[in-house]
Amino acid sequence: MPDRLVVSSLGVSFGKTEVLRDLSFSVPDGATLAVIGPNGSGKTALFKALIGALPSSGTVAWAQGTRFGYVPQRLDLERDLPLSGRDFLRAKAALVRASESEVERATRLVNLGQDVGSRPIGGLSGGQFQRLLLAFALLGHPNVLLFDEPTTGIDEPGEELLYATVERLQREERLTVILISHELSLVYRMAGLVLCLGRRGVSCFGPPRQILTPETLERTYGAPMDHYLHSGHGP
């Protein structure tokens, strides 16, 4: 399987504070990589470096023809922003030359009701807005989906619905998925590869069974983790 992403000796610093140091890993096409680690370990900085939003050292090489779909952490939007869901999706559709029927398809794929499209995006519930962001990400036929803790602030049924949608889409469209999550059970369920980032520059990379051991988790999070690997889990 050819690699979709190859990262070599990646480093990110904020002023004199080094957030990521000498990080190397690769993601095969169609795989799911989960990035785990405690708050402040550089997970979001890694995502920003991957999409070129942060200056970094080392190399980030995406395969030719990579098209991103990105679902960020919950965004801080004004409630009275007069931008409807449909305005937002059409703005991207115009840029990636997607037709109106593709906008409708993306809306359907994420189970977003017709009424949501006509409402201002600042007034949507957390779950509705994250599904709108997923529909936005799906426009333009992306082959890579990036999720930065997309279910922060969403209730459990909403979270389940979002991830079920992603799993279905990945099967149907052979997408490469890279996600940040604190939910280790979700990581077991979805990821074929895990990248762990610890606070003191600790990092590890491999399949879940190899990485999500009590010892590695304790090293990553700096505290014992109450987590058990069930035999039914994992790819």
Partner 1 sequence: MRRWTTTCTLAMDPSALLLSGGMAVAAGVVGCFAVMRRMTLAADAMSHVALPGIGLALVLHLNPIIGGVAMLLVGAVLIWGLERRTGISTETVVGVVFSAALAVGSMLASGEELIDALLGKPGALNPTEVAFGLLAPLGVVVFLVRARNRLLIALVSPDLARTVNINVERLNLGFLLAFAVTVALGLRYLGVLLMGSLIIIPAATAKHLARNIRAMFLVAVGVSVGSTLLGSALAAVLPLPTGPLIIAVAAACFFVSLAWRRPA
E strand map for 86-143: none
| Smallest distance, partner 1 to C-beta of residue 26, A | 20
Q: Which residues contact 31 (CB under 8 A, 6 or more apart)?
A: 1, 4, 176, 177, 192, 193
| Smallest distance, partner 1 to C-beta of residue 202, A | 26
Provide the binding-site residues for partner 1, judged by CB under 8 A: 48, 51-53, 68-70, 72, 75, 77-84, 86-88, 90-92, 94-96, 118-123, 133, 136, 140, 146
The sheet with strand 3-14 has its strands ordered as 17-28, 3-14, 57-62
| Smallest distance, partner 1 to C-beta of residue 91, A | 4
Q: Which residues contact 148 (CB under 8 A, 6 or more apart)?
A: 43, 44, 47, 70, 71, 72, 73, 179, 180
Q: Which of 162/212 has CB closer to partner 1?
A: 162
Question: Beta partners for 28?
Answer: 3
Q: Compute the distance between CA of residue 43 and CA of residue 187 in angstroms, rounded to an integer.
A: 15
| Smallest distance, partner 1 to C-beta of residue 24, A | 23
Q: Which of 10/137 has CB closer to partner 1?
A: 137
Residues, the chain, total? 235
- State whether residue 165 is helix, strand or coil: helix
- What does 140-182 look like in DSSP terms, one character per residue? T--SEEEEESTTTT--HHHHHHHHHHHHHHHHHHT-EEEEE-S
Q: Which of 90/199 has CB closer to partner 1?
A: 90
Q: Which of 76/215 has CB closer to partner 1?
A: 76
| Smallest distance, partner 1 to C-beta of residue 81, A | 6
Integer Rg of the chain from CA: 18
| Smallest distance, partner 1 to C-beta of residue 120, A | 6
